[in-house]
């Protein structure tokens, strides 16, 4: 474990990025670059469940703590990725406090949660460290709820107060669409929603996260008190690097005419 939850509770700002290529190689490259955490995206990413294990193994010797975004808040999806060694789970499109409760209960073992108990899994050292892992999950595993719908905004306070919810994570793309201001992060409706999310989290002593698209926005959101800040993805890095190099080489290409 890389103590992501402990660092959040201490008030530290943690820098992360998305992994959506399903590649263990790009996962390792990104992990070795020094990010505090990475988000392996099983909701929209190219990778599937079968690719997750190799990405987690590739990240093991890096400083980056692996969070996995699952496709739904069903407990079967959640405990599956935790058994493989994820240090936290992000659940998308949560629309109510009831949804949030179901999601976070799937993270923890009984009596506080409903996670199924399996000892011979990667997260427990295949049984060797089961007792220590089981007793430490409440202090180590991070429960992240995405706020990206109008319905979630209506239940913000209740979602934030849900035991086991550690982070309210702002999904700017979906949230701006839900607000009718598609992609406009400067629109008053989006700014107001962000303020409301931060206030609800603060009142419940929870952290806030966000995905930003421009690294120059980092300081703005950090100053608002947002601690879990992601920017970019392995796909973005590959695509932008390839396009940039192609443009540079094209400047030197001799004309055929």
**How far is it, in rounded angstroms, from Cα 75 to Cα 192?**
32
Measure the CA–CA gap between 25 and 16, rounded to whole angstroms.
17
CA-derived radius of gyration, the chain: 19
Catalytic residue, chosen from 44, 61, 79, 187, is 44
- DSSP result, 67-118: EEE-SS--HHHHHHHHHTT-SEEEE----SHHHHHHHHHTTS-TTT--PPP-
Q: Which two tokens stand for residue 112?
A: 């506080």
**How is 177-238 classified by DSSP, letter by letter?**
HHTT-TT-TTSHHHHHHHHHHHHHHHHTT-EEEEEES-GGGHHHHHHTT--EEEEEEHHHHH
Do residues 144 and 167 touch, judged by C-beta distance below 8 A? yes
Active site (annotated) includes residue 44: yes
Q: How many CA atoms lie within 13 A of 138 on its CB side?
A: 10
Q: Which two tokens stand for residue 197?
A: 């999310």
**Rounded CA gap, 3 and 197, in Å?**
24
Catalytic site positions: 44
């Amino acid at each position: 474990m890389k103590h992501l939850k402990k660092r959040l509770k201490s008030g530290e700002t943690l820098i992360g990025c998305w992994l959506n290529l399903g590649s263990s190689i790009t996962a390792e490259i990104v992990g070795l670059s020094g990010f505090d955490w990475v988000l392996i995206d099983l909701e929209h990413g190219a990778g599937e469940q079968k690719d997750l294990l190799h990405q987690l193994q590739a990240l093991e010797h890096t400083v980056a703590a692996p969070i996995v975004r699952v496709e739904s808040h069903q407990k079967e999806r959640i405990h599956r990725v935790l058994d493989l060694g994820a240090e936290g789970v992000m659940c998308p499109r949560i629309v109510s406090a009831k949804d949030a409760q179901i999601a976070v209960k799937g993270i923890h073992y009984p009596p506080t949660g409903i996670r199924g108990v399996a000892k011979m899994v990667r997260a427990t050292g295949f049984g060797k460290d089961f007792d220590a892992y089981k007793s430490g999950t409440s202090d180590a595993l991070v429960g992240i709820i995405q706020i990206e719908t109008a319905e979630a905004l209506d239940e913000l306070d209740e979602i934030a107060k849900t035991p086991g919810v550690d982070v309210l994570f702002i999904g700017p793309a979906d949230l701006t669409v839900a607000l009718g201001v598609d992609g406009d992060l400067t629109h008053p409706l989006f700014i107001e929603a962000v303020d409301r999310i931060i206030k609800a989290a603060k009142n419940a002593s929870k952290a806030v996260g966000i995905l930003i698209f421009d690294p120059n926005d980092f300081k703005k959101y950090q100053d608002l008190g947002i601690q879990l800040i992601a920017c970019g993805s392995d796909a973005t890095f590959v695509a932008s690097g390839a396009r940039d190099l192609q443009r540079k080489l094209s400047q030197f290409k001799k004309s055929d005419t």
